[in-house]
Homo-oligomer: A and B are copies of this chain.
């Protein structure tokens, strides 16, 4: 883990140099120097500017060689065309650079070339470079702000990685308001060399970091990202990801291959779920999730935190919150204990509701809030307390806030709060936030964030058993016959499938004509089988039912003459009764590799979109679990007299297809359509399969 060692130099830097330090107020090279010097950073700071003697009363050096000591981290702020040279001149004294300067990959061809050169320099010299085109980085515990965003966040458990500098600025501004602290903040810019995965891997074992918040716009190495997240999640870090760029992934055309049924964004989504990351949809959600994660940091992931107690001074919000919770999977309205109800009934006015949600009524005093909050905190049926308030005429808004602050100091139970209104609640909300209470802009946001945080973060294996050499040899033998063909005949597909224990239907090749000797079972099906024909049913290339030799002869004649492709074969298969059809597709995703889709078959596959997807490597356990909880779950339940379909058998076929795809990179796509499945003692069987190189 050389990379990790190098990153540690940034995060524990004892000596820092700024190349391009500027004396001019308002210039980035000035702001960065000011920021480094302003917040009590105890390490050595060297400024490099050949034209100045001093900047902000600190000595300037003409070049890094003039300093003559090893530097842990060099911040580069010179114009883009100079960056290469100043780094090349520094390699004897430092291996770690943050390139703030813009004008690289993000800006046209010359910038792109500049980035290529810089990247090569880094590789040749073994450098670690953050950026270029970034905001810099901040380590609150060192008092080090090596960025051009002013201010110093408080120290805390959140590591923030962002591809957008502006979002860091907005996030830190919100965080300041909500008392959220950071272990470090890194703007990765063009991520030429240090990417999200490297940083997540670093934070995975960083004791100061317990929540990793990421904004990213694009992913290149999906597998690496998954591995880094899996490592972090295993070490009990929460990984929260906001990814932009979903719209580019919109699937427009009807899928040509079954595998394409999985849109890019769906694959990304599944990838994150598989390794236990929490994906959020908006910047607001990102911040709310960070805040709640920080507040619930000592919550063990396996502990049940499902039972919510709600206190309100108005019926309406109580009803709305009840509705909201009812739609959630991971939280429920707690059933308050008998004792709580007894105490509340005794101490609250008769018209108050003493069941959950506890309604203190519109004229609620601080006393009533105190009674209810104290009692629900004590109630063992309540894991999390949600306190709502609307600012009615005599509502003691500020006093309720103060009592919540006091209570949260004394309890390990989580209190989440939403005061609903505008100016009348503004001061109290500010007070709650300053004191580190989790206040949400709306009750709905509180509930959504909590539910999402509590979603099961079961993580799955990222490894397959090793590929069998003999299987691979057999497959290579089949594929090597293909010369220029890109797609396999059914016969070849069936051989490949057999090697991976994927059951395919029997078939006869009748391309050369029928002979009386062949013993077809009737009824049977005759099909055209050609590398060039992907959708043979649509093209009229499938004929059934064929009940006898004479009908078979007619079918043969028809197919022979309709498809005058010299490469086309004609095959027959027994006609099986259809109970239910699935489709299984394997595609090679640019970012995540082998992706497998399992969907409900039949004519409306694309429209109904009833499917689940997997990223290899997968385990049988993962497949079975996903089939059980996903959109196909109804196939495996006993409902309205339906016998369940055989989940283990289907999962095994899915596993085998994934393994086949994963082991044999020469195969670019597999289309099984249909896999006939039965909920009796007939075995599931592949009736048509297409393999494309």
Q: Which residues of A contact B (CB under 8 A)?
A: 26, 31, 102, 107, 148-150, 162-167, 169-170, 173-178, 215, 217, 242, 244-247, 250, 254, 281-284, 313-317, 319-320, 322-327, 351, 362, 390-394, 420-425, 441-445, 535, 538, 600, 603-604, 607-608, 610, 634, 639-642
Nearest-CB distance from A412 to chain B (Å)? 28
Asked if residues B423 and A173 are in contact (CB atoms below 8 Å), the reply is: yes
Nearest-CB distance from A74 to chain B (Å)? 22
Beyond A244-B323, A283-B443, list 9 extra A-B contacts (CB 8 Å): A164-B314, A164-B316, A166-B362, A167-B316, A176-B422, A177-B422, A247-B325, A282-B324, A284-B444
Q: Which residues of B contact A603 (CB under 8 A)?
A: 642
Asked if residues A315 and B166 are in contact (CB atoms below 8 Å), the reply is: yes
Also in contact, A421 and B169, with CB within 8 A (given A393-B31, A442-B283, A634-B607)? yes
Also in contact, A390 and B170, with CB within 8 A (given A420-B283, A423-B177)? yes
Q: Which of B217, B325, B425 contacts A319 (CB 8 A)?
A: B217
Also in contact, A247 and B322, with CB within 8 A (given A164-B316, A167-B314, A351-B107)? yes
Complexed CA–CA distance, A445 and B326 (Å): 23
Complexed CA–CA distance, A281 and B321 (Å): 11
Q: Which residues of B contact A149 (CB under 8 A)?
A: 392-393
Also in contact, A176 and B420, with CB within 8 A (given A215-B316, A323-B246, A634-B604)? no
Q: Which residues of B contact A325 (CB under 8 A)?
A: 247
Greatest chain B CB density within 10 A among A149, A315, A320 is at: A320
10 intermolecular pairs with C-beta atoms under 8 Å apart: A164-B315, A164-B317, A166-B392, A169-B314, A173-B423, A176-B423, A244-B320, A244-B323, A247-B322, A600-B604
Asked if residues B421 and A170 are in contact (CB atoms below 8 Å), the reply is: yes
Nearest-CB distance from A633 to chain B (Å)? 9
Complexed CA–CA distance, A607 and B250 (Å): 26
Q: Which residues of B contact A607 (CB under 8 A)?
A: 634
Complexed CA–CA distance, A194 and B147 (Å): 62
Nearest-CB distance from A167 to chain B (Å)? 4
Q: Which residues of B contact A217 (CB under 8 A)?
A: 316, 319
Q: Which residues of B contact A254 (CB under 8 A)?
A: 639-640
